[in-house]
């Protein structure tokens, strides 16, 4: 990931949930907030409702790949948290990508390109 680092601290996640903008779809919920820097920070949340560890890790890898392949379409300088909902575990990759781009567009972090 070119201009993204990981979000790791709980207090940063909590601040983003409280003060950030959010948008939801059946597969994902996305929270964003400007961070004042030149790099973006990505956090992924996958709850135990999705299934056992294998399913959760696969979902996390798929969401990280969705973000990585579309990172150049996003504006830098944002904290982004992607929360996987229960349907995300069994959704096709293209549906996750479509939902992520739609939500990013709705939140205003796409850099002028329209989703496919």
Q: How confident is the model at residue 115 (pLDDT cuts 50, 70, 90)?
A: very low
For tokens 């299934």, what's the residue? 51
Which of 28, 43, 37, 34 has its CA nearest to residue 3?
37
pLDDT at residue 31, rounded to an integer: 97
SS (H, E, C) the chain: CCCEEECCCHHHHHHHHHHCEEEECCCEEEEEEECCCCCEEEEEEECHHHCCHHHHHHHHHHHHHHHHHHHHHECCCEEEEEEECHHHHHCCHHHHHHHHHHHHHHHCCECCCCCC
pLDDT at residue 114, rounded to an integer: 46
Tell me the per-residue pLDDT of 46-101, one tens digit each, with 9 for 90 and over: 999 999 999 999 999 999 999 999 999 999 999 999 999 999 999 999 999 999 99
1 pLDDT above the threshold of 80: no
Q: How confident is the model at residue 116 (pLDDT cuts 50, 70, 90)?
A: very low
CA–CA separation, 12 and 5 (whole Å): 13
Structure token digits, residue 69: 């392949």
Percent of the chain residues past pLDDT 90, beyond the cut:
88
Q: Would you tell me the crossing angle of helices 93-107 and 53-70 to the nearest 10 degrees?
A: 50
């Amino acid at each position: 990931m070119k201009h993204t680092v990981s979000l790791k601290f709980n207090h940063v996640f909590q601040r983003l949930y409280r003060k950030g903008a959010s948008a939801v779809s059946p597969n994902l919920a996305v929270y964003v907030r400007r961070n004042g820097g030149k790099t973006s920070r990505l956090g992924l949340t996958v709850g135990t409702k999705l299934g056992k560890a294998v399913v959760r890790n696969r979902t996390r890898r798929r969401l990280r790949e969705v973000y990585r392949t579309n990172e150049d379409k996003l504006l830098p300088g944002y904290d982004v948290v992607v929360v996987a909902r229960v349907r995300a575990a069994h959704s096709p990759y293209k549906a996750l990508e479509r939902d992520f781009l739609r939500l990013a567009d709705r939140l205003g972090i796409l850099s002028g390109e329209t989703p496919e």
